[in-house]
Structure 1
Amino acid sequence: MDEETRFKVYKDWAERFDCDISSMAIPNVIVREHSKSLKGYNGIYCFFNGTTSIISSPTKYTSYIKRAISGRYPMETFDSNFLVKSIDIGKYKVIGPAFQGYIDMASFLEASSLEVVELVTSNQLSLLNDLRKSCSETEWEHSSIEINRQPILARISDERIVAAGSWRVEESGFLSVGILSHPDYRGEGHAKAVVSALTRKGLEDGFTMHYQTLISNSSSVAIAKSLGYEELACTLAIRILE
């Protein structure tokens, strides 16, 4: 990945937290009140790039977190148990850690040429309902697929869609790739072929591509890394339920 792309990625994260990009290049723990981009989120959102930890929280919790992080290394503070104890909450939901991968044309490693098609006809799109029924609603939401929004790329086998994906445009202008694969066809390279095709399409149009998935989803992380996506950060969200 070239330095210009890396700078663009970290500049985007710095703007999300309303902090200086230079502070993200040194060992540091930064605690911020939620910026405009996180306003209204009732929870704590954390970022870690291997060097710097950034913790964004509602105003009422920042003083508690600042006291808790005193003398701690950045990696120590990127921990849901540590953060929950620092603010003493009862009900919460942890989402993450999540892999935040990015790629540009210089680092793209295209997958082998399994045929991938763009879904454009009503008959093709109707097949998506069967794929959707085979997966959970959460998996469908994470796929970034919206029936009326192009592109939707897919692998078709045995007269059914075995993997499909799309992207959403982020505020940064990056394209965030989503993928959904049929449970009966996983591990056969279909999802990787679709992600590869989406990545190439976006890169050829001049975009930086983004891939987000839970670290615990090792197969999804493996797809991203095999195509050349570089892990530039991990994130962690703690949604407060009380």
Structure 2
Amino acid sequence: MHSDARRTARRHWAEILDCRPESIFGSTTTVAEWTRNGVEILCWEGGAVVGAPPALFEALRENVDRIPFDIGREGAQTLVEPVAAVDDVLGPQFVGYCDETAFDPVDREVQQIEPRRLDWLRDACPDGEWERSGLSVDADVPTFAVLRVDRPIAAVQYGVVDGVAKLAVASHPAHRGEGHAKATVSAATAHALDRGYLVEYRTVERWTGSVALAEGLGFERVARSLLVELK
């Protein structure tokens, strides 16, 4: 990934975690104060940033030392439990980025459609899966789909924050493993790169097929993230 792309990713995460950009992808572990009700852990080889709500900031700053890159759910819970009651740990997530130097697109027919046409795909997704995907039938954002009989069987949207195009992906349960999700991600990535954006792909690491999809298109694993939800 080009150095300019890495700087864009650094600024983006600095805004999310309310810390100095120099803290992101550095060689130390930093605890930053943020306003959300949870503890966000972003880690990479050699360093990490922990976003902590104000009530926990001082306690975590005094107790957090080096966070290993392979920290998992249990490790994140162990980190936070001495200072707060933990409800759940989400992740770890693959955090990958793609710029024009790494992109390896696939050639398959994908159409840009109106978001409202995704209602059929939404209704076909299992309970909770649509919400986790991040897709919306009401969003005014670029939307791409593979269509079959004029119905979307895989779709991607992206919104832009701090120059980063953040992808949201879903596919029909009956049509998974056929390459449609990869095709729509490829189309959305190409569209975003053409407009000068860095493209972000985040997915739960245990969904190995989703991680392989991203890496097959040229997304570089830059970091991993976990969110510790508090009671």
TM range (shorter): 0.7 to 0.9
Contact 1:65–1:86 (CA under 8 A) maintained in structure 2: no
> Does 1:168 pair with 2:159?
yes
The corresponding residue for 1:134 is 124
* Cα deviation 1:199-235 (Å, max 9, x = unaligned): 0011111111111111122111111111011111111
- In the alignment, the residues of structure 2 paired with residue 222 and residue 87 of structure 1 have an alpha-carbon distance, to the nearest angstrom, of 36
Which one has a larger percent helix, Structure 1 or Structure 2?
1
- Correspondence 1:226 to 2:207: no
What residue is the counterpart of 1:194 in the other structure?
A: 184
Name the residue aligned to 2:78: 82
What is the CA deviation profile of residues 59-107 of structure 1, one whole-angstrom value per residue up to 9, with x for unaligned ones?
22223323432xx432179432222322241x51211111111111111
Is contact 2:47–2:66 with CA below 8 Å preserved after alignment?
no
Residue among 222, 226, 229 paired with 1:236 = 226
Amino acid in the other structure paired with 1:32: A
The residue type equivalent to 1:13 in the other structure is: W
Equivalent position to 1:73, from 63, 66, 81: 66
Query: Structure 1 residues 4, 118: CA separation in 2 closer, same or farther (over 3 Å shift)?
Result: same
Matches within 5 A, 1:115-154: 115-120=109-114, 125-126=116-117, 128-136=118-126, 138-141=128-131, 142-147=133-138, 149-154=140-145
SS of corresponding position for 1:105: coil
Structure 2 length normalisation: TM-score? 0.88
Percentage identity across paired residues of the two chains: 30
The question of whether the paired residues in 1 share the 8 Å contact of 2:43 and 2:223 is answered with yes
Q: Measured at CA, do residues 125 and 54 of structure 1 come closer, stay the same or move farther in structure 2, by a change above 3 Å?
A: closer
**Where does structure 1 lack aligned partners over 5 or more consecutive residues?**
none
Report the aligned-residue RMSD: 2.2
SS of equivalent residue, structure 1 residue 64: helix
Residue of structure 2 equivalent to 1:46: 41
Q: How many residues align?
A: 227
1:22 corresponding residue in structure 2: 22
Paired residues of 2:116 and 2:137 also in contact (CA < 8 A): no
Gaps of 5+ in 2: none
2:147 is aligned to: 156
SS where residue 106 of structure 1 aligns?
Answer: coil
**Maintained 8 Å contact 2:13/2:24:** no
TM-score by length of structure 1 reads 0.84
Distance 1:62 1:184 in 2: 46
Tell me: CA distance 1:26–1:148, structure 2 relative to 1, closer, same or farther (3 Å): closer
**Residue type at the aligned position of 1:17:** L
Matches of 1:185 and 1:24 in 2, distance apart? 38
Larger Rg: 1
Deviation, structure 1 residue 26: 4.1
Give the distance between the partners of 2:113 and 2:66, measured in 1 at CA. Answer: 48
